[in-house]
Amino acid sequence: MDLRCHQLRCHTGSFQLGPVDFHLPPASCLALVGPNGSGKSTLLRALSGLLPSTGEILLDEHALGGMGTRQRARAMCLLPQQEEGGSAFCVEDYVLLGRHAHVGLFGHYSSHDRAVAVEAMERTGCLPWRARRLDTLSGGERQLVRLAAALAQEARILLLDEPGTFLDPGQRRRLWERLQAARRDRGLGLVLVTHDVNEALEHGDQVLALEQGRVVRQGAVDLLLEADWVGRLFQLPLKAASVEGRQRPLLVELSASREGSQTP
């Protein structure tokens, strides 16, 4: 699914976001970066329709505002950083909630719905916990269950707000392996909020940088290797350093970079 955003503006209290313009082709990833309070999560909520906005949000050239709730849910899914409620559900029932936009007139889950939920749990590694209640899981395990519910929704675009929150390094790596597989197999598009510029470099195709609600840079993700502007954005001295075994350099703190590291 193709996502286009044109002259998007959003006001929440005294905070103003925009204008924002971008184009997300199918199966690509747009990384949103910027300091706290820059408007990244606000942009995700505006894209999902949870916040009123002006401008255009187009999904395959169809205006988001003209879509019904179910049609929108089949197109786009927001995975926020934290989500209240649902702790009394067992894992399988919670993941099945992701099928709500697909259930029939009488609201019964079909065998296909249940098969999709099982596949989503397999993809995220949480199938062994299918009978456990959410409130018995760790924060990282709950995050994987929430991702399973999002995948079960079978939306064509995922809006991800710090999806690695609560995950240990191994879980985070496996999370991205599964997201990349979904991009490859299902043409899944991603809009990713991250505070980790190296995560953006590794997984993004494009980058959009926000500061105080304004777009300060956007383009191909390799823009992040221009460490001067990224350092100014985060008020941190950074440089791009080569790391053996990695295709791309990493951004590291200037004072922490190892002697002899090469810059591109």
Query: Which pLDDT tens digit goes with each residue over 9-57?
Result: 999 989 999 999 999 999 999 999 999 999 999 999 999 989 999 999 9
Domains of the chain: 3-221 (3.40.50.300), 226-264 (no CATH)
Task: Give the pLDDT confidence score for residue 245 in this predicted structure.
Answer: 79
Q: Are strands 3-12 and 54-59 parallel, antiparallel or unpaired?
A: antiparallel
Neighbour count for residue 6 (Cβ, 10 Å): 13
Task: Give the pLDDT confidence score for residue 165 in this predicted structure.
Answer: 80
Q: Which of 256, 231, 244 is nearest to 33 (CA)?
A: 231
Examine the pLDDT at 103 and tell me if it is beyond 90: no
Query: Which pLDDT tens digit goes with each residue over 61-101?
Result: 899 888 888 888 889 999 987 766 667 889 999 999 999 88
Count of CA atoms in the C-beta half-sphere (13 A) of 102: 21
Mean pLDDT is highest, among 58-62, 140-144, 205-209, 244-248, for 205-209
Task: Give the pLDDT confidence score for residue 185 in this predicted structure.
Answer: 87
**Overall pTM > 0.85:** yes
Query: Which pLDDT tens digit goes with each residue over 117-134?
Result: 999 999 888 999 999 999
Give backbone dihedrals phi and psi of 192, rounded to 5 degrees, phi first.
Answer: -115, 120
**Which amino acid type is present at position 141?**
E
Examine the pLDDT at 204 and tell me if it is beyond 60: yes
**Three-class secondary structure of residue 216 per DSSP:** strand
